[in-house]
Amino acid sequence: MNYHQLTHANLEKLTYAYLGDWIRRQQAAVDAGEAGSDARLQAAKQLQARLKFILDGEPPFDIFVRWKPLSKQAIGWHPDLNDGVRMNIRPFLAQDLPGGKKGAGILRTKPNIKWEKDRGKEPVRDKAEYPWFWGWDGVAQDFAGVGKEPDGNRWNDCHYSSAAKKAARGSPK
């Protein structure tokens, strides 16, 4: 599947229809005693579990876009193609699958992506909408911001839970 076609609906189709069919075929092969089918079945189940986490969008499988306010951050896998590949691919690289290449997440190869903060400084923005500009420690999830002045650092690897994003939107949990 091409990246520009990877929408929420297509990822659901990939996770449940295509991969679900593959899992059923591998289960039938395991039941028939085919050699190697048990390893393929286990790998497919692990991949499906990881794709379900990405669809849910809970940290570390969430999409974070530094220049969007917290109330506009995607909840679950609902990427905005205008945000760029680096922002939207992060959930797929969050954790490696067993037996895969180190740092590649669920992908075949690890892309050359820099996650550290970008050069330059951000303009002063509202602390409630952009708390990561107010002295993020580089680790905390659902960071609310500290300090009286923004540090302006361009962090890219923050994580906010769906509950925090909904609270910023004023939606019920």
DSSP state of 102: T
pLDDT for res 94: 86
Tokens read off for 134: 């107010």
pTM: 0.87
**Residue 46: which of 89, 86, 105, 87 has the closest Cα?**
105
- Residue 172's pLDDT band, with cuts at 50, 70 and 90, is low
* Predicted pLDDT of residue 173: 57
Give the pLDDT mean for 134-160.
86
Q: What is the pLDDT of residue 10?
A: 94
- Whether the pLDDT of residue 2 is over 70: the answer is yes
d(C-alpha 80, C-alpha 66), whole Å: 13
Q: Above 90 in pLDDT, residue 12?
A: yes
Q: Sorting pLDDT into bands at 50, 70 and 90, what band is 108? A: confident
Contact between 151 and 135 (Cβ < 8 Å): yes
Assigned token pair, 11: 């990822």
Q: How far apart are CA 133 and CA 9, in angstroms?
A: 33
Task: Report, as an integer, the average pLDDT of 143-162.
Answer: 87
Quick one: pLDDT at residue 50?
94
The stretch 149-173 carries a mean pLDDT of 86
Q: What is the pLDDT of residue 1?
A: 66
Q: How many DSSP H helices and E strands does the chain contain? A: 5, 0
> Which residue has 């602390």 as its token pair?
127
* C-alpha of 77 from chain center: 7
